[in-house]
Structure 1
Amino acid sequence: MCIIVYKPQGKQLPSTDTLRACWDNNPDGAGIMWPDGNHVNIKKGFMAWPSFLEALEEVTSSIDVASTPMALHFRIATHGAVVPGCCHPFAVKDSLAKMRMTEIGADVGFMHNGTLAGLDTNDATSDSMAFVKAVLVPLKDMSDDFLSDKRALRIIEGSTQGSRFLIMSKTGTVRLFGNWVKDHGILYSNKNFHTRYTYTPTLFDNSIYDAWAAFSNLDESLVRYGLFEACKDCSMLFDCAEYLPICTDALQASEMVASWA
C-alpha cells in the first residue's frame, strides 16, 4: 500500500520524522512534484531514504515552500517492477517512456494510491501508468482544462475502484479523488504516515469485529465486507476494515499479502 502526502498552498511540509515513517512503511521508491506556472515538475526514482531526503532538501531550498502546493509519493509495488521508472508521480503524456522518466516537466502530473484492475500491465508498466495512458491522456486531449471539466472529473471519480488519486496541473490546480486523511492541514491518502502500529480490536470497534467475523463463513460473508480469503494474512486488514478496502479482487488481495512478506 503506497501513500501520497499532499501539502496545500499555505502549509509547511510534515516533519522529517513523519516523512521517514512514510518511507519506512512504503520503501519501494519515492517521488516529488510541484508546479511553477509553466510546468508540473516531477522528480522521482529515489530508492533509498538518504537520496530522497537530499532531493527534497534541494527542491525546498529553491522554492517558496509555503506558497507552493507539493505532493510526495512513497511506493509499495503491487503492479510493475521495483525500479525508479515505476515510481510516482507520472507525467500525463501519451508515452510510457516519458512516464518512466525520473525527471521531467509536464502540463499535468498524476499520483495513485491503491490498485486498479482491468488494465494492461507488466513489469515495465504499472496499473497507474496504464491508467494514465488509457484514461487521463484521452480526457486531457478532449478538454483544454480537464481538471475544471465536470464531465472529465466525473469519469475520473467513477474510475477510482476505491483508490486515491492526486492530479496536479502546472498552474497549481490540484484535484483529489477518494477518501483522504487530514492531519494538521496536510492530506494523506491513508493512515500509513504513522510509525507502524497495531490495532487492538474492542467490543465497540464494530467495523474491525465484523471484518474478523466475516472469516467464520468464507462463502457468504467475505464479499459483503470487501474481503477475500487472503485478507486474513494481510497486514492491512484492519486498515481496510476501519477505513476503505484496498483490493477489488482475490488476485489483488494475494498480491498485497505477498508485498508484505
Structure 2
Amino acid sequence: MCIIIAKKKGIDLPGKDIIKRCWDRNPQGAGLCYARDGEVHIEKGFMQFEELDSRLEALGEEINIRESSLIIHFRIATSGRTDEGNCHPFPVTDDAEAIRAKSATADLAMAHNGVITDFSEPRSKYSDTQHFIMKVVMPLYNMNSKHDFYREEKIRYLLSKSVNGSRLVFMNGDGEIYTIGKWIEDDGILYSNDGYRGMRKMKTGKRAKLSDINGNVEWYVDGRKCSRSYFFEFLNSLKRLEEDAYDAWGNEVWSPLDGESYYVDEWRHEIYMVDIHGNEWDLMMLGQYI
C-alpha cells in the first residue's frame, strides 16, 4: 500500500532515512502539499527519489517547514495510470484535467492510502482516489458555503465507511490537517501505516496453511482489518514464493521449504505470509529481503 506522512505546524519533518524508506517501499511517484497565503500548494509527479529530496531541500529555503503543515504521499499504483498526474495529493475538484495537474493551488487538498474498490475502473486513466474525489468528495464540498464537510462528525463517519478502512487526509488553506481512519502518531507526526519503520519482527503463534474459506472470516493485511476484496487484490499483486530462498535483513533466510505459504512484493522487497487463526486471515509482512 501507499504511505502518507502528515506533519502539522510546529513539528520537525522526519529524517531523510524515514523519507527514503517510505520511498523505497512505495516507488511509483510522490507528491506533497503545504499551505501558504491562504491556499494549499500542491506539487507532485516526483518519479525519482532524488527529485523529491531536492524539492524538499529547496522548499526549506522558501518556507519555514517546521512551522508549516506538510503532507507527503508515496504511491504504489493499484488503479489508473502509473504516471505523474496520478500522484497524490489532489485538489478537491470535479475538473478531470485539474485533478491530474502536476502543480496546483486549491482551498482544499486530499491524499489517500488504500484501495477504494468500488471506484476502481478498469482501463481508466484515473485512479480510484480521483474517481472518489470527483464523485463523492466534491459533492460534499459543495454542500455548504464554508466547504468544511471534513469537520462534521457524521460526514467523517460516512467517509470512513465509504473507503473500506483506507486512510484519508485533508489540508485546507490555513494549513489545518484533518485525518480519517486509523493513523499512527510517532514523535508528533502522523503516518497512514507503519511502513515508515524498519523491519518488523515476525509475530508468534500457531499458523496454518491456506484452507477453504468459510462464512465468518475476518480479513487483515499486516494486522489491519480490510475487506475480502481488498485482501485478495493485495494478495494477487504479490508473487508466490515457490523455489528461491531470500536473505532478509538481519541475515535470516525465508524459504518455502518449511511448508508455509510465502509471498514476495518485488517492488518493495518485502516478504509476506498468510497467517490463519480460526476465522482470521492476516497477510502478514515478515520483513524485507536483500
Identify the range of structure 1 (169-178 vs 14-23) with the bigger mean alpha-carbon deviation.
Answer: 169-178
The residue matched to 1:226 in structure 2 has which SS? strand
Please point out which of 200, 203, 228 is paired with 1:201.
203
Shift of 1:158: 2.3
Q: Normalising by the residue count of structure 1, what TM-score does the alignment of the two structures yield?
A: 0.84
Give deviations 1:133-179, integer Å, cap 9, x for gaps. 01110000112222333443233222121101101111222110111
1:189 corresponding residue in structure 2: 192
| TM-score, normalising length: structure 2 | 0.76
**Greater CA drift, 151-160 or 60-69:** 151-160
Q: Does 1:134 align with 2:135?
A: yes
Q: Which residue pairs with 2:238 in the alignment?
A: 257
Cα distance in 2 between the residues matched to 1:136 and 1:37: 24
- Bigger relative contact order (CA 8 A; separation at least 6): 1
* 1:120/1:182 CA distance change after superposition, 3 Å: closer
Bigger helix share: 1
Matched, 1:5 2:2: no
Structure showing greater Rg = 2
Instruction: State the AA in 2 paired with 1:49.
Output: F
Specify the code of the residue in structure 1 equivalent to 2:217: R
Residue aligning to 1:14: 14
Partners of 2:170 and 2:228 in 1: how far apart? 21
Please give the residue correspondences for 1:1-261 in structure 2 after superposition, counting only pairs within 5 Å.
1-119=1-119, 121=121, 122-143=123-144, 144=146, 145-195=148-198, 197-203=199-205, 209=206, 212-213=207-208, 215-220=209-214, 224-226=217-219, 240-245=221-226, 248-249=229-230, 252-257=233-238, 260-261=265-266
Q: Name the one with the larger strand percent.
A: 2
Number of equivalences:
239
Distance between the aligned counterparts of 2:49 and 2:87, measured in 1?
14
Shift of 1:244: 3.6
Shift of the 217–24 alpha-carbon distance from structure 1 to 2, 3 Å rule, reads same
Deviation at 1:225, TM superposition (A): 2.6
One-letter amino acid of the counterpart of residue 64, structure 2? D
Structure 2 match to 1:237? none
Report % sequence identity. 30
Consecutive unaligned residues in structure 2, runs of 5 or more: 240-263, 267-290
Structure 1: gaps (5+ residues): 204-208, 228-239
Larger deviation, residues 80-89 vs 140-149:
140-149
Which 4+ stretches in 1 moved above 6 angstroms?
none
Q: Distance in 2 between matches of 1:148 and 1:198?
A: 35
- CA shift, 1:249, in A, is 4.1
The one-letter code sitting in structure 2 at the alignment partner of 1:248 is S
Shift of 1:247: 6.3
Q: How far 1:60 sits from its partner (Å)?
A: 2.1
